[in-house]
Amino acid sequence: MKRTRTRAGRLLATCLATFLATLLVATGCGLNNGGSVPLGVGPGPSGTVPALEGVAVTVGGKDFTEGVISSYLVEFLLAAAGMEVSDMSSLAGSNSFRQALISGQVDIGMEYTGTAWMSYLGNEEPIRDPEAQWEAVRDADLEAHDIRWMRPTTVDNTYSFALNRATAEETGVSTFSDYARLVQTDPQSAVTCMETEFAVRRDGWPGLADAYGFDADAVPVSIMQPGIIYQATSTGRECRFGEVYVTDGRVKGLDLVVLKDDKRFFPVYNLATVVRGAYLDAHPELEEVLSPLVEVLTNDVMVELNMRVDVDGEDPALVARDFLVEQGLVSAG
């Protein structure tokens, strides 16, 4: 979805994405034309923004639940301001969105600070302070690509472990330091499920064990597909602990308890609006229109929105619009 790759893997993925984007432009299909906004919206209490009325904008995004919802939030706010919005909210993968933004096929969207820092900008080590990570990405992307990063939200779609409530009550584990103590005293009671990539990544299982001072080899580990881990952890039979993404809707839908990363080992993946520099210079009013997202989007909110799609089966466009209507930022068209 948005995780760090090896240097060779990043290079290959970037080259492939660039080739595909170029091919699509040359053949006149794919990324050239966005669709219309999926639902109508009207202005919020402050009305439209005169300087933006009728201005064309293309909003891009990624093809997983949180990526689609985030794109729709941007689209509806811009449409409510009076802009003519084209929807490219479900591009296949992070690199497709990134290349579309850099090439100018997309004007604006939402991205994760950790993804840009490590996957796009090629850094090997994350910056674990959220503000410092955002500042580093903001400065580097401005210099290299004239991509502007608006203030980030507190949404942080990073890794963690989760367990069901019965296991949490039985073990008393609520932090990774607690987990490390359990591993040291009774490793057989800490059966842990994770996906293949997490098991070998430096910012995954081996690094986690080093940071918290436990023996990774002592823990019974089961390798599973990500989607299976959530359900298996909820029953507590196959997985006492399971690797999760903290804003995944299944965390709340299955009533899982997420461990606190009390030593802040995992990278920061804060969600923020990104926009082409030339486009923002031409339309600086965008920052004020989209600034409410910084205030209203939190991990708890995003978990709820994701759950309504992934667990309850609701349409992501309806979920995004209803949320903005509830916040008083747009009216239903």
Where residue 70 sits, what CATH number does that domain have? 3.40.190.10
| 127 and 141 inside one domain | yes
Query: What is the number of domains present in the chain?
Result: 2
Domain of residue 297, residue span: 7-155+270-332
C-alpha angle 289-87-143 in degrees, rounded to nearest 5: 60
Rounded Cα–Cα distance for residues 292 and 192 (Å) = 39
| 249 and 322 inside one domain | no
Residue ranges of alpha helices (H) inside the chain are 7-27, 65-80, 94-103, 113-114, 130-145, 165-171, 176-185, 196-200, 205-212, 226-235, 249-253, 277-282, 286-290, 292-296, 299-310, 316-326
Task: Name residue 65's amino acid.
Answer: T
List, for residues 229-280, the tens digit of each pLDDT value.
999 999 999 999 999 999 999 999 999 999 999 998 988 999 999 999 999 9
List, for residues 10-31, the tens digit of each pLDDT value.
444 444 444 444 343 333 334 4
| 209 and 90 inside one domain | no
- Of 229, 258, 287, which one is at a domain's C-terminal end? 258
| 16 and 134 inside one domain | yes
pLDDT at position 30 = 40
Q: Strand pairing of 84-91 and 331-332?
A: unpaired
| 183 and 66 inside one domain | no
Burial class (CB in 10 A: 0-12, 13-18, 19+), 26: exposed
Q: Is the pLDDT of residue 5 over 70?
A: no
| 115 and 38 inside one domain | yes
Rounded Cα–Cα distance for residues 24 and 22 (Å) = 5
| 289 and 237 inside one domain | no
CATH number of the domain enclosing 172: 3.40.190.120
> Residues 6 or more apart from 280 whose CB is under 8 A from it?
148, 286, 287
Q: Are 163 and 256 in contact (CB under 8 A)?
A: yes
Q: Is the pLDDT of residue 219 over 80?
A: yes
pLDDT at position 35 = 82
| 91 and 22 inside one domain | yes
| 27 and 70 inside one domain | yes
Query: Which pair of tokens denotes residue 101?
Result: 């933004």
Q: Is the pLDDT of residue 2 over 90?
A: no
> Dmax of the chain from CA atoms?
65
pLDDT at position 31 = 43
- Of 258, 285, 316, which one is at a domain's C-terminal end? 258
> Does residue 144 form part of some domain?
yes
- Of 221, 236, 258, which one is at a domain's C-terminal end? 258
Cα 176 off chain centre by: 22
> Does residue 263 form part of some domain?
no
Radius of gyration for the chain, computed over Cα atoms and rounded to the nearest angstrom: 21
| 177 and 91 inside one domain | no
> Does residue 305 form part of some domain?
yes
Q: Which carries the bigger pLDDT value, residue 226 or residue 253?
A: 253
Helix/strand/coil for 111: strand
> Does residue 24 form part of some domain?
yes
List, for residues 33-81, the tens digit of each pLDDT value.
568 899 999 999 989 999 999 999 999 999 889 999 999 999 999 999 9
> Does residue 216 form part of some domain?
yes
Per the listing, tokens 């196959």 go with 238
> Does residue 1 form part of some domain?
no
Q: Is the pLDDT of residue 7 over 60?
A: no
| 36 and 113 inside one domain | yes
DSSP, residue by residue, 125-182:
S---SHHHHHHHHHHHHHHHH-EEEEEEEEEE--EEEEEEHHHHHHH---BHHHHHHH
In the predicted model, what is the mean pLDDT of residues 206-226? 94
| 145 and 115 inside one domain | yes
- Which residue, among 153, 146, 83, 103, has the nearest Cα to 280 in the 3D structure? 146
List, for residues 77-127, the tens digit of each pLDDT value.
999 999 999 999 989 878 899 999 999 999 999 999 998 998 899 887 889
pLDDT at position 34 = 66
The model's pTM: 0.79
Rounded Cα–Cα distance for residues 70 and 274 (Å) = 12
Backbone angles phi, psi at 241, to 5 degrees: -130, 145
> Does residue 2 form part of some domain?
no
List, for residues 180-196, the tens digit of each pLDDT value.
999 999 999 999 999 99
